[in-house]
Amino acid sequence: MTDQTAYVPPKIWKWDKESGGRFAQINRPIAGPTHDKILPVGQHPLQLYSLGTPNGVKVTIMLEELLAAGHSGAEYDAWLINISDGDQFSSGFVDINPNSKIPALVDHSVGEPLRVFESGSIMIYLAEKFGAFLPTETRGRTETLSWLMWQMGSAPFLGGGFGHFYAYAPIKIEYAINRYAMEAKRQLDVLNRNLADREYIAGADYSIADMAIWPWYGLTVKGLAYESGEFLQVQEYEHVNRWADQLALRPAVRRGRMVNRVQGDPASQLHERHDASDFDTKTQDKLADQN
């Protein structure tokens, strides 16, 4: 390990907002709203407030899969919450997620509007509401939920750990990158071994576990996360690659990845989704042509 300047923590930590790198303007050590703003509400019972990050994509994939499976009650409005602009700290958003993290869902079909926050909780809620993508028998349900919880617990190491220090931190810290690269590769190996003898994450059937894990680890092995494919040697995980390619071909997965997306090819960005026809008429390239 190369020599690096030692940091000695002070006796009492104090917030220095200038030390947060590219996220300095939106990260802070306290909760609660920073400004008043009422969230918009569309015509559908399900209102999603999100951004096309892996955690946001999990939910939009599921909603699109539900619609593809014929669950018309899963029609939804998806509103863009731009975390770079601090939208997650508006009073309206904090009311539906006191943790100020995307995604958050409000169901208006159950009498008094019901808020659901945390992406895993949203997926379980939708699976139980529509009776889809989550087995009802004990063994299958337990296996699926175990993998969903695995994703919820492991993704902070991949995103908040490896991704942050490898791609976003204002300085490159060898120890931190090595620590989280090791954990990212261990997690990929966990998945690779699991997928060696089963088609999907939790067994023979496609489930919310696949939808939750694909935006994180599926995109990682395709070299689309943090431009880290070569660094992590992702081609080594052949079973994860097979599974990732298989899910990428699903039309609902492709649509779900477009919703609330603000980066990449303009043709792949649907900033807001209010109707199925929006995929054909309101992607950023189409809107640019109209202007």
Nearest to 117 by CA among 144, 91, 142, 95: 95
- How many angstroms separate the Cα of 258 from the Cα of each of 76, 88, 155, 254, 291? 14, 20, 21, 7, 21
Q: Work out the number of other CB atoms within 10 angstroms of the CB of residue 265.
A: 11
Token pair of 107, please?
Answer: 């169901």
pLDDT score at 20: 64
pLDDT score at 5: 67
Find tokens 């997928």 and name the residue. 195
- The residue type of 92 is G
- Give the whole-angstrom CA distance, residue 145 versus residue 207: 10
Indicate left, alpha or beta for 115 from its phi (over 0: left) and psi (-120 to 50: alpha).
beta
Nearest to 253 by CA among 238, 263, 266, 243: 243
pLDDT score at 183: 96
Token pair of 236, please?
Answer: 């080594």
> 115 - beta bridge partners?
106
Find tokens 């994180």 and name the residue. 216
Pairing of strands 114-117, 104-107: antiparallel
CATH class in words for 138-255 = mainly alpha
- How many angstroms separate the Cα of 43 from the Cα of each of 40, 47, 51, 274? 10, 9, 20, 8
Domain residue ranges in the chain: 138-255
Residue ranges in the chain whose pLDDT is less than 50? none
pTM greater than the 0.85 cutoff: yes
pLDDT tens, position by position, 118-158: 999 999 999 999 999 999 999 999 999 999 999 999 989 99
pLDDT score at 290: 84
- The residue type of 15 is W
